[in-house]
Amino acid sequence: MPERNIFDRRGIPTVINAAGTLTRLSGGIVAPGVAEAMRDACLASVDMLELQAHASQILAAITGAEAGYVTAGASAGLLLATAACLSRYDASLMNRLPDTGGMSNEFVIPRGHRNGYDHAVRAAGGRLVEAGLPERQAGVGVRETEAWEIGAAINERTAAVLYVAGEWARPALAEVTEIAHRASVPVIVDAAAELPPQSNLRHFLAQGADLVVFSGGKALGGPAASGILCGRRNLVMSAVVQSIDLDVTWDQWNPPTALVDKKSLTGLPQQGVGRSCKVGKQEIMGLLAAIEHFVAEGDEARHSRWLVDARRIADGLADQDAATVTLVGESDVSCIPRVELQFPRGSTSAALALAERLLDGDRPIHLDQTWSDRGRLIVNPICLRDGEARLVAQNVVRILRQ
């Protein structure tokens, strides 16, 4: 059993998280060194621009970007990226957001990339323009949005193209950035959940993306309320001045030039639209500790560490015959290894019944229910603590045998 923690002392039940780094389950378990970095950060004061300038240097070196910024999450990063593409350096436009009447405010998105998180684009004042048609129903084969359709949707009202990265994402990012850049339009990539593999820290930028957002609270192992925005220096700079506290007179404001080029700004917005995405020194120091650990550990060692629990669970689940057990991603170090429990005939009700039974108990056990409509549950090992893998397997087997 893990030792008693701060939640136990307050009588707040903790859960066994075999579902992954879900925000509603408080995100992941932070990487070694992160909690200490956050604690130390709480105990001293610092100039936030100096701190973010330091973070920018580290993030730029790791991602290959011109600049980086620690945000309050990937969603916050999307909002800031939107604000940057809408107003660039014009302080009067910054002050107007999210009111974008008369501005170039369209964000072209392949229709199949629409998702709940694009609310952040709308929150900053962007208007989403869907391009193409992901064909699923006509039985003529699967066809996704094509690059030329994105090109056709770009016009003088376009502020940026929004691309959501994922294994399934089409068209290829390189085609999208090429067609967007031909029209001098930047491309924002939502890569929130695209780590590992570690190479993705550089990949999307190398494919021509102008801004990329990552979540800090997923497999990166940073604080739940942290994320990364990285990319072109001029756009990151716009995001900085629209989110950082700037209750200071223009003359007295001397930002570190590595982060903000004061000369190219027309003025300072009065608490920009990104001010609601405030990030603290704790999150910044925690995120830096996490990404440095992530890079130092490397995909192979990380995958082996996760695989220990995944194997333990797969072995433990062999003791039942209600569902078929598969260990997925065992030999692919670029992914998160996981255990799939497939119920016969794709039975959704059997999957949901098990998931529900696992939740009643002193320590509820959460599995990933993404594919429960296909009669499949997934056990994700990355948020499990010592001894919990065994508990997951034991409880699943106990319930399935009843």
Ligand X SMILES: *Cc1c(COP(=O)(O)O)cnc(C)c1O
Q: Binding residues for ligand X, per CB under 6 A?
A: 23, 73-75, 117, 164, 190, 192-193, 215, 217, 227
Q: How far is the CB of 172 from ligand X (least distance, A)?
A: 18
Q: How far is the CB of 37 from ligand X (least distance, A)?
A: 18
User: Shortest distance, CB of residue 229 to ligand X, whole angstroms?
Assistant: 11
Q: Please identify, using beta-carbon distances, which residue of 256 and 280 lies nearer to ligand X.
A: 280
User: Minimal CA–CA distance to 336: which of 239, 134, 193?
Assistant: 193
> CA–CA separation, 272 vs 219, rounded Å?
30
Residue placing its CB nearer to ligand X in the complex, 190 or 340: 190
Q: Which is nearer to ligand X, 73 or 151 (CB)?
A: 73
Residue 166: CB minimum distance to ligand X, A: 7
Burial of 139-172, coded b for 16+ CB within 10 Å and e otherwise, reads eeeeebbbbebbbebbeeebbbbbbbbeeebbbe
Which residue's Cβ lies closest to ligand X? 73
Decide whether 23 or 304 has the Cβ nearer to ligand X.
23
Q: Smallest distance, Å, CB 97 to ligand X?
A: 19
Nearer to ligand X, 26 or 95 (CB): 26
Residues 130, 109: Cα–Cα separation, whole Å: 5
Q: Minimum distance from CB of 1 to ligand X (Å)? A: 29
End-to-end, the C-alpha distance of the chain in Å comes to 25
CB closer to ligand X out of 118 and 149:
118
Measured from the CB atom, the residue of 279 and 325 that comes closer to ligand X is 279
Q: How far is the CB of 148 from ligand X (least distance, A)?
A: 25
Quote the CA–CA distance of 3 and 143 in Å, as a whole number.
Answer: 52
Q: Could you give the C-alpha distances from 315 to 211, 337, 402, in angstroms and in order? A: 43, 14, 19
In 3D space, the residue among 69, 82, 97 whose CA is nearest the CA of residue 255 turns out to be 69
Please give the Cα distance from 53 to 385 (Å, whole number).
35
Q: Which is nearer to ligand X, 195 or 237 (CB)?
A: 195
Residue found by looking up tokens 């939640």 in the block = 7
Give the shortest CB-227-to-ligand X separation in angstroms: 5
Closer by beta carbon to ligand X, 170 or else 312: 170
Handedness of CA 288, 58, 251, 103 (dihedral sign): negative
Q: Report phi then psi at 108, rounded to 5.
A: -80, 130
Secondary structure class of 38 (helix, strand, coil): helix
Rounded CA gap, 62 and 114, in Å? 29
CB of 74 to ligand X, least distance (A): 3
Q: For residues 67 and 237, is the Cβ–Cβ distance under 8 A?
A: yes
Concatenate the DSSP letters of all residues of 187-198 into one string: EEEE-TT--SST
User: Between the CA atoms of 199, 202, 207 and 213, what dihedral angle is there, to the nearest 10 degrees?
Assistant: 110
Angle between helices 233-241 and 48-63 (to 10 degrees): 150
